[in-house]
Structure 1
Amino acid sequence: MLAKTSSAKVVLISAIASGQGKTTTTAALARKLIKLGQRVRIFKTGPDFIDPMMLERACGAPVQSLDLWMVGKPASQALLAHAAQEADVILIEGVMGLYDGNPSSADLARAFGVPVLAVLDASAMAQTVGALAMGLRDFGPVHLAGVIANRIASEGHAKMVADAMRDIPLLGSLRRQDQALPERHLGLVLPEEVGQLDALLDQLADQLTIDMDAWNELPLTEFALADEAEVVPALLQGKTIAIARDAAFAFVYPANLDCLRQLGAELVFFSPLANQAIPAQADALYLPGGYPELHAQTLAGATEWQASVCAAHAAGMPILAECGGMMVLTESLTDQQGAHWPMLGLLPGRVVMQPRLAALGAQSLADDHGELRGHTFHYSRFETELIPQAQTIKHSNQEPGEAIYRIGQLQASYFHAYFSSNPLASAQLFLKR
């Protein structure tokens, strides 16, 4: 019997480094193809929350993570195969530079036979773009489908770049932008903070020039469809999980929500910034990461929300607090301007924002239910005398990573878990121990 397959035009969009314009180019390309009548899906390589939210606005569909370690190759393949059933084009935005990390974006491209489209910032060069492209292609090597030159100053500039590409197609170019996607310390700002975002995305799409003949010549990539999806036990059947969701608590993998639903949980959402109490029907609470440091004054005055969390903790409700979710449960938060804001005080100690990155990278948490994978990324430090009950392990060197704090039914850490990497272990986070 022949294996069932699905296929689509797929490219992995990468660069030599961060800051080249991968997200802007991916968003512009998605919008342009949609305007041409194509069905487009986007994925993001590696752990990331903010870029996927922006890319979701560009293509109109949830943006899932792909990662050979955190997500796993079989699960990544299943996501791609499913998307190829529904889309004409799949865009995969890489992380950092093409060969950075272990596994890297290049590893992902090679694992699934996906061609690479390099975004190169040409603002301070011309012919050297060709040298960079050849280096990206040959170092791995990878199948380099072509280049999109970003921040082009003029038609003459674009011609100089094109003439230097030799046997690598210049698939397109994007003019130097008067208005780009704005950023802050953790990356792009949230989509709802950008005024007229859809108009900006449409403008970027119009500014992006694509050699459609070269684009149409790109081959389809084929993916094998799994015979049967793995059955996830309904360990959370009958449980309702309340999830904080607003501008202060926005960092949630779409796959985490899918996993909780597959485990049988009903999800309800509420906004601490709107001073909403935990919904009365909740059996467990999930406080994800986000930007509480930008909303510390509002959170400090959200008395109804604070009271509901403290009451839930006192009553023994399971609570998972990740990164920003943990920050608001401490005694105080010192923001980037040095202002001190009182928080809920369930965790002794204080959180202090700092100008330099405190931690970044893939990590895992092991317990009796196996290894739960995820990552950490934060610019704050937690000053506490609280003794950790466990620690994560860094994927890069197997050294101890983030502290895991437990008080009663509360578990808090800077660690962001990817629930689908271990649904059994994830379910335990929302059940009484």
Structure 2
Amino acid sequence: MTAELRSCPAMLISAPASGQGKTTVTAALAYYHRQQGRRVRVFKTGPDFIDPQILAFACGQPVYQLDLWMMGEAHCREMLYRAAGDADLILIEGVMGLFDGDSSSADLAQALAVPVAAVIDAQGMAQTFAAVAYGLANYRPGLAFAGAIANKVGSAGHAKMLQEALPDATPLLAAMARDEAVGLPSRHLGLLQAEEIGDLNVRLARAAELLNSFTPCLLPEPVTFADVSTNPPPRLLQGKRIAVARDAAFSFLYQANLDCLQAMGAELMFFSPLADSALPEADSVYLPGGYPELHLQVLASNTQMKQALTAHHQASKPLYAECGGFLYLLDSLADKEGHQAAMVGLLPGNAVMQSRLVNLGMHSLQLEQGEIRGHSFHFSKLETALEPFTVSSPQRSFGHGEGFFRKGSLQASYLHLYFPYNPQLAASFF
């Protein structure tokens, strides 16, 4: 029996380097096609949490990550196949430059047979734009190339010059006019979160308008996706209620993690450590990553929430924390200016924000239920006398492992783990 096929216009949006405008262009494309009445599904290459918030705002749908190493190729294929069933357009935003990294955007595009569209900052460029596009299109044999997208185009004449310089095999898919007002503001971990950009809708509407300033914005060609059959996760959390922290301080959540918990039978209830004085009635608590360092005084002064988490732990109920959630459970946390505040105090130790990145990369974690994968990305330095239960294995030879800590029913680390990689292990946290 042959697998069922689904067809949908799709492209992976990459660039020669970071800073070319991939996120702005991808969000503008999603917003524009949504305005045209099309159902747009967007994915993000790699383990990023922040860009997906912007992209979700633009397309009006949850945005999922795609990563060959962290998720596995079959799972990536399954995600695209599902999206193709209810979408008129699939966009995948790449990471860094097209060929950069151990698991690059080009690797993902080639494995999933999705053509690449290259965003190139055309400011100060004419025919060289075509040379850059040609190099990206032909550097790796067998990589399908949809065309080029010119960013920061100065005029209609500039757009025409770029278009005429491109070879026939590399069409100009869009030419976005230069306008600094559509740029997306950033901080140390990347772009600001969607809810922090008060005029995001105005910026995206303007960016979508700029896509059609000089040339028609073209739809990519349809891509055929084959069905990938995977077994649903076991209902190991049937009847369990999980309280999930979600607010401006704790917002680094994979939608796929939440879906996985629900698929295993869990009921999710969201709460805010910033604003709430009590936990929901729940069997377990999930504290994801985020920006606790930007909300030190509010978190420190919410003593009722800290007491509620302490009581939850004293009742031997499961408590699982990642990165920012992990920092929140320490004795104290200090920002990079040295302002220190008392946190929950369930884990002995302190953390201090640094001016430079402390750890970045993919990690494998081995626990009793097998392997699970995820990533680390943090600017804080931990000081603790608590010995880790185990230490993760970094994917890169020059990376360093992250300690995974246990204290009674509490489990925590800097790692952002991808639950669908090993649902049984993820269930054990709750």
State the TM-score bracket (shorter-chain normalisation). over 0.9
Question: Is 1:354 aligned with 2:354?
Answer: yes
1-structure distance, mates of 2:37, 2:238: 41
Structure 1 contact 109–115 (Cα < 8 Å) conserved: yes
Preserved contact between residue 64 and residue 253 of structure 1 (Cα < 8 Å): yes
Query: 1:178 Cα shift?
Result: 2.6
2-side partners of 1:351 and 1:70: how far apart?
27
**% identical equivalent positions:** 53
Q: Partners of 2:134 and 2:32 in 1: how far apart? A: 27
Task: Give the Å deviation of 1:211.
Answer: 8.4
In the alignment, which residue of structure 2 is the partner of 1:286? Answer: 286
Cα distance in 2, alignment partners of residues 276 and 120 from structure 1: 48
Deviation of the 1:149 alpha carbon: 1.1
SS of residue paired to 1:274: coil
How far apart in 2 are the matches of 1:378 and 1:124? 35
Q: Which moved more, 1:362-371 or 1:417-426?
A: 362-371
CA 214–49 in structure 1, closer or farther in 2 if over 3 Å, else same: closer
Structure 1 runs, 4 residues or longer, greater than 4 Å off: 210-214
1:48-67 to 2 correspondences below 5 Å: 48-67=48-67
Residue aligning to 2:265? 264
Q: Does 1:201 align with 2:204?
A: yes
**Residue in 1 aligned with 2:392?**
392
Cα separation, 2, equivalents of 1:271 and 1:342: 18
CA distance in 1, matches of 2:297, 2:156: 49
**Amino acid of the structure 1 residue aligned with 2:250:** F
Confirm or deny: 8 A CA contact 1:117 1:148 kept in the other structure.
Answer: yes
Unmatched runs of 5 consecutive residues or more in structure 1: none
> Are the structure 2 counterparts of residues 211 and 113 from structure 1 closer, same or farther at C-alpha, using a change threshold of 3 Å?
farther
The secondary structure found in structure 1 opposite 2:401 is strand
Query: Mean Cα displacement is larger for which, 341-350 or 259-268?
Result: 341-350
Contact 2:349 2:385 in 1 (8 A): yes
- 1:240 to 2:256 alignment: no
For residues 68-115 of structure 1, what are the alpha-carbon distances to aligned partners after superposition, in whole Å with 9 as ceiling and x for unaligned? 111111111111111111011100001111111222111111112111
SS in 2 for 1:61: coil
Q: CA deviation at 1:58?
A: 0.3
d(CA) in 1 for partners of 2:368 and 2:140?
Answer: 39
What residue number does 1:301 align with? 301
Contact 1:270–1:276 (8 Å) recurs in 2: no
Structure 2 Cα separation of the partners of residues 69 and 388 of structure 1? 25
C-alpha distance in structure 1 between counterparts of 2:3 and 2:215, whole Å? 32
TM-score, normalized by length of structure 1?
Answer: 0.95
Q: What one-letter code is carried by the residue in structure 2 that aligns with 1:186? A: L
What is the DSSP-based 3-state SS (H/G/I as helix, E as strand, rest coil) of the residue aligned with 1:26? helix
- Which of 186, 190, 194 is equivalent to 2:189? 186
**Contact 1:171-1:210 at 8 Å conserved across structures:** no
Q: 2:13 & 2:65 partners in 1: Cα distance? A: 14
1:48: how far off? 1.0
Change (3 A) 1:211 1:258: farther
Partners of 1:372 and 1:418 within 8 A in 2: yes
Q: What pairs up with 1:72-151 in 2 under 5 angstroms? A: 72-141=72-141, 142-151=143-152
Instruction: Output the CA distance in 2 between the equivalents of 1:250 and 1:367.
Output: 26
Identify if the C-alpha distance between structure 1 residues 163 and 309 changes in structure 2 by more than 3 Å, giving closer, same or farther: same
The alpha-carbon deviation at position 194 of structure 1 amounts to: 0.9
- Distance in 2, matches of 1:235 and 1:381, equals 35
Choose from 216, 219, 222 the match for 2:221.
Answer: 219
1:151 is paired with a residue of what secondary structure? strand
Q: TM-score, normalised by structure 2?
A: 0.95
Please give the alpha-carbon distance, in whole angstroms, between the structure 2 residues aligned to 1:99 and 1:318.
41
Matched, 1:334 2:339: no
Task: Please report how far the alpha carbon of residue 159 of structure 1 lies from its aligned counterpart in structure 2 after TM superposition.
Answer: 3.1
Q: Which sections of structure 2, spanning at least 5 residues, go unmatched?
A: none
Distance in 2 (CA, whole Å) between partners of 1:214 and 1:303 is 53
Matched AA of 2:27: A
The residue type equivalent to 2:396 in the other structure is S
Count of residues paired in the alignment: 427
Preserved CA contact (<8 Å) 1:172 1:210 = no
Q: Which amino acid in 1 is paired with 2:337? A: Q
Q: Are 1:426 and 2:422 an aligned pair? A: no
Please say which of residues 130-139 and 237-246 is displaced more in the overlay: 130-139
Residue by residue over 1:354-394, the C-alpha shift from the partner in whole angstroms, topping out at 9 and shown as x without a partner, is 11111111111112211101111111111122211111111
Cα distance in 1 between the residues matched to 2:40 and 2:27? 11
Q: Residues 284-326 of structure 1, C-alpha deviation per residue, up to 9 Å, x if partnerless?
A: 1110000111111110111111110111112211111100001
1:132-171 equivalences under 5 Å are 132-141=132-141, 142-167=143-168, 168-171=170-173
- SS at 1:147's partner residue? strand
Q: Secondary structure at the match of 1:260?
A: helix
Q: Is the 8 A contact 2:362 2:396 kept in 1?
A: yes
| AA of the residue aligned to 1:201 | L
CA deviation after TM superposition for structure 1 residue 210, in Å:
8.0
Relative to structure 1, is the Cα distance of residues 419 and 161 closer, same or farther in structure 2, using a 3 angstrom cutoff?
A: same
Q: How well do the aligned residues superpose, as a CA RMSD in angstroms?
A: 1.7
The separation in 2 between residues aligned to 1:253 and 1:238, in whole angstroms, is 22
Identify the match of residue 179 of structure 2 among 177, 181, 190.
177
In structure 1, C-alpha distance between the alignment counterparts of 2:132 and 2:399, rounded to whole Å: 35
Q: Distance in 1 between matches of 2:335 and 2:82?
A: 42
1:312 corresponds in structure 2 to 312
**Offset, 1:396:** 2.4
Q: Aligned residue for 1:22?
A: 22
CA gap of 1:429–1:210, structure 2 versus 1, over 3 A, is: farther
